[in-house]
């Protein structure tokens, strides 16, 4: 019974839970309720992944309406993997959220905060689960609207500006997406992804299809903060409440990358990518994104902002992987979605722990703080090494696949960009390490204590996951390879 | 206990030691006892492995398989055995030295120092016993990262700046060039295992082999081939025990060790000579030998002079690898151990002078030898071994390196080698000579200065005696080095 409805339950449970949370009394009750829901979804998502791990798919007809008329949830390894990332990160963020939310959000707002958080969670899960492009748009809007609210709830008044900036850019992106969906609907008369794929193949050279494709790609590129449409992201992540920085940085852009993969490879096809030379555009934008965002990160003196710029760079790597349009390249993208969620989650958690203790993430206020918060510092250090791509960490696995994909196609310039991006990440991460540990404290502020255990435990779970998935890649690589095969991508040959 | 367990134990013991050191941070005496205990244990374990090691059956341990077909693998072979022996013996001696030095010098953050030191040695053993290139790379990076806090130890602006150069060059070359070289190798050969005769022969177009080899030689920044040598002088801001063990033995030897491994087991000596991959690279090594010696001449800071001397000596080993004949490889492998014992003696002496007399500049050391006879006596022995005179161990390695050049008819390189020996005399011998026979710059005598702490003297005496002993009895290292030369 549960197993048959698994993919719907994953969306419906948090959707129903959200309004319930809003009605709960303020305090710790909404937190506990949300915690239970996210963990429940996490367990269900693991279950779902085990079903599709062997390369099979689940097709679920909503309300018994057969596709393509009704909405279909079509789950394969890729959907299940993204759902796992989203629910796993939510489940690990919630224990962390308790103390930071008490610190940053007024008590009377907590029920609303967790309700909106659940809505955002529903949105992201829904995007990952659905097999219908319009349904996907709806969930995208749910997640976007709720994240505007969540970012706007940040402590500083600048959070409102940041949220507004994101709102404008996000709405433009959504509009583009909707126009794109409208155009391909006009051409094919269907919204089901599998059906779209079938019907688009004979008419891939139609001008309307091309226009629709461009609108879709630009819309999604805005959502995933692809260079040069990335400017909304740094402020949004910087001023959001700590728990939200963690959750959004680890999931939101990854889900957008997933949408890009789905639209490009499932709805259209790899052949369409090649005949329109979109792969070349992806490669260029990805390469520039890596360079520009990594260089940008170097010139900032604020941990959260540096991490935000680094997120843009990491997403650019994922786009780069898509641009290779080969098994190795897209495998690298999918593996990096997972690994980046681990490293960025851990890093933003550590940054949040510092904000909890110091009230700021600016360098001038946190010089030498790593000595007083050794565990937090060690977490930043190890997750930072993973971000750089030091062997023995998850980041190295991603980098290895990106490099292999580049070398396979003898794309020497791109290979150099990937390595140079790594070197730039050494520079900006080491700026953080030096400031936190080796710099003498400048102000005579009272000594602070280590972050509380409720922050350290989730943080270190992710840190250890960074090491575990750097040594044992059975899960990540096998899921990625299955997912890539189902996307219809073949190995590169000249 | 089986050999596999011993192998893993030797790598894990320093890490366990590091944890013990951190736990006992409140009680310095116990903490130092843990350092000594783990150093002794590692030494015993490595010697035991050596006694049992017969080279007939290579044994390997697989730990994990992070990427399909790429395992984290450890194995014991002669070259690694030699490196592990040198590193573990000298860790024990350096620990004795460091305790006296750090206490006399009243250094701060000693717990961090000893813990990171142990981790660095664990990583060095990981490099020595690495069974394939990816495992070696893993430990190579870990060694860079674990030594960074040791270089930045003082925490002041100068130390941070030095450490930044150190890390920038080492991580930069390893990510930018070495990783690229490893990936290209994997892309071409489909494996990264160390195999006798190499894995690239027949798979890589010989025309490209020179370029790939250059990526390796320069990518292994720890070997300090010019122009990627700047990190070693920069690392001299570290406390002297760090300069002694890590920047004369562990880190730099890890670099040349990697060069040797790549030469023998990835390229294969036959492939290198037949493809001409080494044609122009030998001149980089030759130039480094001469230039670094010349720069050493003009350094007044003793540790800086020793650092440039190390850069020059490292290129001897790189050159031995690049020539890729049996004799030159024998010389290169021997030089790993011979240079280690001699150079660590020199650094010990430099640290002793700093602790006892608070002097870092050579021009201030006139007449100091009469106040510190043991220190400068050890320095003299170390210098003579570096120069390569009998009866000191350094002679053997230079002998075989020179033989290798004669065999291949590289007369120009042979003259570089001889000129460098003369330069060694010119920049090393004046130091003890001035100390014993010269006068202090202001004409006073050093009657207030006493010898360094006993633990420093003990360490120095042991290593300088080892320099002599290695002349008469180089057998253990010689036999290990012979195995590498291709008798297998």
pLDDT of residue A445: 63
What is the pLDDT averaged over residues A140-160?
89
Instruction: Residue window 177-196, chain B: list those with CB within 8 Å of chain A.
Output: 179-180, 183-184, 186-187
Helix (H) or strand (E) holding B411: helix B411-428
pLDDT of residue A443: 64
A392 vs B142, B155, B168: nearest CB: B142
Instruction: Please answer yes or no on whether B179 and A408 come within 8 Å at the CB atom.
Output: no
Nearest to B456 by CA among B373, B348, B359: B348
Which tens digits make up the pLDDT trace of B248-262?
888 999 999 999 999
Instruction: Please answer yes or no on whether A438 and B64 come within 8 Å at the CB atom.
Output: no
Output A86 or B78, whichever has higher pLDDT: A86
A434 vs B72, B160, B180: nearest CB: B160
Instruction: Please answer yes or no on whether A390 and B141 come within 8 Å at the CB atom.
Output: yes
Instruction: Please answer yes or no on whether B180 and A391 come within 8 Å at the CB atom.
Output: no
> Is some CB atom of chain B closer than 8 A to the CB atom of A39?
no
Instruction: Residue window 145-174, chain A: list those with CB within 8 Å of chain B.
Output: none
| Residue B283: CB atoms within 10 Å | 15
Q: With a cut of 60, say whether residue B391 has pLDDT above it.
A: yes
Q: In sequence order, what are the residues at sequence separation of 6 or more whose Cβ sits closer than 8 angstroms to the Cβ of residue B380?
A: B429, B432
Q: Name chain B contacts of A392, Cβ cutoff 8 Å.
A: 138, 141-142
Q: What percent of chain A has pLDDT over 70?
A: 99
Taking the alpha carbons of B293, B299, B304, B306 in that order, is the dihedral positive or negative? positive
Output A439 or A306, whichever has higher pLDDT: A306
Instruction: Please answer yes or no on whether A404 and B187 come within 8 Å at the CB atom.
Output: yes
Q: With a cut of 60, say whether residue B486 has pLDDT above it.
A: no
The distance of B368 to chain A (nearest Cα, Å) reads 36
Q: Name chain A contacts of B180, Cβ cutoff 8 Å.
A: 403, 415, 419
For tokens 């670094």, name the residue.
B292
Average pLDDT, chain A: 89
A471 vs B66, B152, B164: nearest CB: B66
B167 vs A420, A422, A430: nearest CB: A430
Q: Name chain B contacts of A477, Cβ cutoff 8 Å.
A: 67-68
ipTM, 2 dp: 0.86
Average pLDDT, chain B: 86
Output A395 or B358, whichever has higher pLDDT: A395
Nearest to B325 by CA among B259, B394, B272: B272
Instruction: Please answer yes or no on whether A397 and B66 come within 8 Å at the CB atom.
Output: yes
Q: Name chain A contacts of B67, Cβ cutoff 8 Å.
A: 397, 400, 473, 477
Taking the alpha carbons of A114, A118, A124, A125 in that order, is the dihedral positive or negative? positive
Choose the weakest-confidence range: A433-447, B31-45, B101-115: A433-447
Which tens digits make up the pLDDT trace of B5-48?
888 888 899 999 889 888 888 888 888 888 889 999 998 988 88
Query: How far, in Å, CA of A390 to CA of A399, rounded?
Result: 9
pLDDT band of residue A494 (cuts 50, 70, 90) is low
Which tens digits make up the pLDDT trace of B130-181?
988 999 999 999 999 999 888 888 778 888 888 889 998 999 999 989 999 9
> Is some CB atom of chain A closer than 8 A to the CB atom of B66?
yes
Query: How far, in Å, CA of B155 to CA of B149, rounded?
Result: 9
Instruction: Please answer yes or no on whether B184 and A390 come within 8 Å at the CB atom.
Output: no
At B54 the three-state DSSP class reads: coil
Query: How far, in Å, CA of A200 to CA of B222, rounded?
Result: 56
Query: How far, in Å, CA of B219 to CA of B180, rounded?
Result: 9
Q: Name chain A contacts of B187, Cβ cutoff 8 Å.
A: 404, 407-408
Instruction: Residue window 391-450, chain B: list those with CB within 8 Å of chain A.
Output: none
> Is some CB atom of chain A closer than 8 A to the CB atom of B154?
no
pLDDT of residue B198: 83
B175 vs A415, A423, A439: nearest CB: A423
Which tens digits make up the pLDDT trace of A368-426?
888 888 899 999 999 999 999 898 899 999 999 999 999 988 888 999 999 999 999 99
Measured between CA atoms, the residue of chain B closest to residue A428 is B168
pLDDT of residue B77: 85
Instruction: Residue window 372-401, chain A: list those with CB within 8 Å of chain B.
Output: 385, 388-392, 397, 400
What is the pLDDT averaged over residues A449-458?
86
The distance of A492 to chain B (nearest Cα, Å) reads 13
pLDDT band of residue A234 (cuts 50, 70, 90) is confident
Choose the weakest-confidence range: A341-355, A365-379, B435-449, B461-475: B435-449
What DSSP string runs through B77-130? -HHHHHHHHHHHHHHHHHHHHHHHHHHHTT-S-HHHHHHHHHHHHHHHHHHHTB
Output A152 or A492, whichever has higher pLDDT: A152
What is the pLDDT averaged over residues A216-231?
89
Q: Name chain A contacts of B171, Cβ cutoff 8 Å.
A: 388, 423, 426
Instruction: Please answer yes or no on whether B137 and A390 come within 8 Å at the CB atom.
Output: no
Which tens digits make up the pLDDT trace of A163-215?
899 999 999 999 999 999 999 999 888 888 888 888 888 888 888 999 999 99
Question: Which residue of B66, B69, B176 is the best one to mutate when testing the A interface, meaning the one whose CB has the most A CBs within 10 A?
Answer: B66
Q: In sequence order, what are the residues at sequence separation of 6 or more whose Cβ sits closer than 8 angstroms to the Cβ of residue A272?
A: A200, A204, A213, A264, A278
The distance of A389 to chain B (nearest Cα, Å) reads 9
pLDDT band of residue A120 (cuts 50, 70, 90) is very high
Q: In sequence order, what are the residues at sequence separation of 6 or more whose Cβ sits closer than 8 angstroms to the Cβ of residue A178?
A: A137, A219
pLDDT of residue B446: 62
Which tens digits make up the pLDDT trace of B48-82?
888 887 765 567 788 888 888 788 888 888 888 88
Are B324 and B269 in contact by the 8 Å Cβ rule? The answer is yes
Are B432 and B374 in contact by the 8 Å Cβ rule? The answer is no
Nearest to B332 by CA among B342, B322, B346: B322
pLDDT band of residue B487 (cuts 50, 70, 90) is very low
The distance of B131 to chain A (nearest Cα, Å) reads 15
CB-neighbour burial class of residue A133 (10 A; exposed 0-12, middle 13-18, buried 19+): buried
Q: With a cut of 90, say whether residue B374 has pLDDT above it.
A: no
Q: With a cut of 90, say whether residue A437 has pLDDT above it.
A: no
Output A494 or B223, whichever has higher pLDDT: B223
Instruction: Please answer yes or no on whether B176 and A423 come within 8 Å at the CB atom.
Output: yes
What DSSP string runs through B442-486? TS----S--PPPHHHHHHHHHHHHHHHHHHH--HHHHHHHHIIII
pLDDT of residue A316: 93
Query: How far, in Å, CA of A120 to CA of B141, rounded?
Result: 40
> Is some CB atom of chain A closer than 8 A to the CB atom of B107?
no
Enumerate the β-bridge partners of residue B60.
B75
Nearest to B288 by CA among B261, B268, B315, B265: B315
> Is some CB atom of chain B closer than 8 A to the CB atom of A475?
no
pLDDT of residue B142: 92
Are A41 and A84 in contact by the 8 Å Cβ rule? The answer is no
What is the pLDDT averaged over residues B113-128?
90
Question: Which residue of A377, A390, A420, A469 is the best one to mutate when testing the B interface, meaning the one whose CB has the most B CBs within 10 A?
Answer: A390
The distance of A418 to chain B (nearest Cα, Å) reads 9
Q: With a cut of 90, say whether residue A290 has pLDDT above it.
A: yes
The distance of B36 to chain A (nearest Cα, Å) reads 26
Which tens digits make up the pLDDT trace of B203-219?
888 888 888 989 999 99
Which tens digits make up the pLDDT trace of A55-66?
888 888 887 787
Instruction: Please answer yes or no on whether A426 and B171 come within 8 Å at the CB atom.
Output: yes
- Rounded to 5 degrees, φ, ψ at B120 are -60, -40
pLDDT of residue B449: 74
Query: How far, in Å, CA of A483 to CA of A76, rounded?
Result: 7
């Amino acid at each position: 019974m549960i197993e048959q409805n698994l993919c719907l339950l994953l969306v419906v449970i948090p959707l129903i839970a959200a309004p319930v949370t809003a009605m709960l009394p303020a305090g710790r009750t909404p937190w506990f309720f949300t915690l239970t829901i996210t963990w429940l979804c996490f367990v269900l998502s693991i279950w779902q992944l085990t079903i599709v791990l062997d390369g099979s798919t689940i097709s679920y007809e909503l309300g018994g309406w057969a596709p393509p008329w009704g909405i279909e949830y079509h789950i394969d390894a890729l959907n299940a993997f993204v759902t796992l990332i989203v629910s796993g990160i939510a489940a690990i963020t919630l224990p962390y959220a308790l103390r930071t939310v008490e610190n940053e959000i007024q008590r009377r707002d907590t029920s609303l905060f967790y309700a909106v958080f659940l809505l955002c969670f529903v949105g992201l899960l829904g995007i990952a689960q659905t097999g219908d492009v319009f349904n996907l748009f709806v969930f995208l809007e749910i997640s976007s609207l709720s994240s505007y609210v969540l970012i706007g709830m940040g402590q500083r008044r600048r959070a409102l500006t940041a949220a507004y900036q994101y709102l404008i850019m996000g709405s433009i992106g959504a509009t583009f997406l909707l126009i794109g969906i409208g155009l391909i609907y006009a051409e094919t008369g269907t919204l089901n992804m599998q059906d779209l794929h079938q019907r688009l193949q004979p008419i891939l050279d139609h001008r309307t299809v091309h226009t629709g494709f461009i609108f879709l790609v630009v819309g999604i590129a805005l959502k995933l903060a692809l260079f040069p449409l990335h400017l909304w992201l740094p402020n949004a992540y910087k001023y959001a409440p700590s728990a939200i920085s963690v959750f959004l940085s680890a999931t939101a852009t990854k889900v957008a990358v997933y949408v890009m993969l789905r639209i490009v490879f499932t709805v259209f096809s790899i052949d369409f990518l090649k005949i329109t030379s979109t792969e070349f555009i992806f490669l260029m934008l990805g390469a520039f994104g890596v360079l520009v965002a990594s260089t940008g990160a170097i010139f900032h003196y604020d941990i959260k902002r540096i991490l935000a710029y680094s997120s843009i760079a990491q997403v650019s790597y994922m786009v780069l992987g898509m641009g290779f349009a080969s098994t190795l390249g897209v495998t690298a993208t999918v593996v990096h979605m997972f690994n980046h969620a681990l490293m960025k989650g851990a890093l933003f958690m550590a940054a949040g722990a510092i904000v909890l203790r110091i009230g700021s993430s600016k360098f001038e206020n946190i010089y030498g703080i790593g000595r007083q918060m050794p565990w937090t510092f060690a977490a930043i250090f190890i997750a930072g090494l993973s971000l750089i791509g030091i062997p023995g960490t998850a980041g190295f696995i991603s980098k290895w696949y990106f490099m292999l994909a580049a070398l396979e196609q003898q794309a020497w310039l791109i290979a150099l960009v990937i390595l140079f991006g790594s070197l730039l990440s050494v520079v900006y991460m080491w700026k953080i390490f030096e400031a936190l540990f080796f710099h003498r404290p400048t102000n005579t502020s009272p000594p602070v204590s280590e972050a509380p255990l409720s922050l350290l435990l989730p943080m270190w779970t992710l840190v250890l996951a960074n090491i575990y998935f750097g040594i044992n890649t059975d899960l990540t690589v096998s899921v990625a390879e299955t997912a890539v095969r189902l996307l219809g991508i073949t190995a590169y040959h000249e | 206990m089986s050999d596999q367990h011993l192998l893993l134990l030797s790598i894990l013991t320093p890490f366990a030691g590091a944890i013990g050191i951190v736990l006992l941070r409140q009680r310095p005496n116990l903490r130092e006892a843990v350092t000594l205990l783990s150093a002794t244990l590692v030494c015993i374990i490595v010697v035991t492995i050596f006694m049992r090691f017969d080279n007939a059956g290579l044994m390997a341990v697989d730990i994990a398989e992070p990427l399909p077909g790429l395992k984290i693998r450890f194995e014991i072979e002669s070259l690694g055995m030699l490196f592990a022996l040198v590193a573990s013996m000298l860790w024990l001696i350096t620990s004795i030295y460091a305790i006296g030095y750090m206490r006399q010098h009243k250094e701060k953050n000693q717990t961090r120092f000893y813990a990171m030191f142990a981790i660095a040695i664990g990583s060095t053993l990981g490099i020595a016993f690495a069974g394939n290139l990816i495992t070696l790379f893993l430990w190579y990076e870990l060694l860079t990262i674990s030594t960074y806090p040791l270089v930045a130890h003082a925490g002041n602006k100068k130390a941070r700046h030095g450490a930044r150069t150190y890390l920038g060059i080492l991580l930069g070359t390893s990510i930018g060039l070495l990783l690229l070289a490893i990936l290209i190798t994997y892309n071409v050969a489909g494996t990264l295992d160390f195999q006798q005769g190499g894995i690239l022969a027949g798979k890589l177009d010989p025309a490209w082999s020179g370029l790939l080899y250059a990526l390796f030689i320069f990518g292994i920044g720890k070997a300090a081939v010019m122009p990627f040598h700047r990190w070693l002088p920069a690392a001299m801001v570290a406390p002297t025990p760090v300069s002694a063990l890590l920047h004369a033995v562990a880190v730099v030897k890890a670099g040349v060790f990697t060069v040797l491994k790549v030469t023998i087991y990835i390229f294969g000596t036959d492939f290198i000579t037949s493809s001409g991959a080494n044609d122009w690279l030998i001149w980089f090594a030759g130039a480094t030998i001469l230039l670094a010696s010349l720069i050493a001449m003009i350094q007044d800071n003793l540790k800086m002079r020793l650092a440039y001397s190390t850069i020059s000596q490292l290129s001897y080993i790189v050159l031995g690898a690049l020539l890729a004949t049996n004799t030159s490889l024998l010389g290169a492998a021997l030089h790993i151990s011979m240079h280690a014992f001699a150079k660590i003696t020199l650094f010990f002496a430099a640290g002793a002078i700093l602790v006892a007399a608070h002097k870092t500049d050579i021009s201030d050391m006139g007449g100091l030898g009469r106040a510190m006879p043991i220190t400068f006596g050890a320095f003299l022995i170390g210098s003579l071994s570096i120069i390569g005179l009998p009866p000191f161990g350094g002679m053997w390695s230079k002998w075989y390196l020179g033989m290798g050049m004669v065999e291949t008819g590289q007369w120009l390189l042979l003259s570089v080698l001889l000129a460098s020996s003369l330069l060694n005399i010119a920049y090393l011998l004046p130091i003890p000579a001035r100390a014993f026979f010269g006068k202090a710059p202001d004409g006073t005598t050093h009657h207030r200065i006493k010898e360094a702490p006993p633990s420093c003297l003990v360490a120095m005496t042991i290593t300088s005696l080892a320099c002599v002993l290695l002349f008469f009895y180089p057998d253990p290292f010689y036999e290990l080095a012979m195995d590498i030369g291709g008798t297998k």
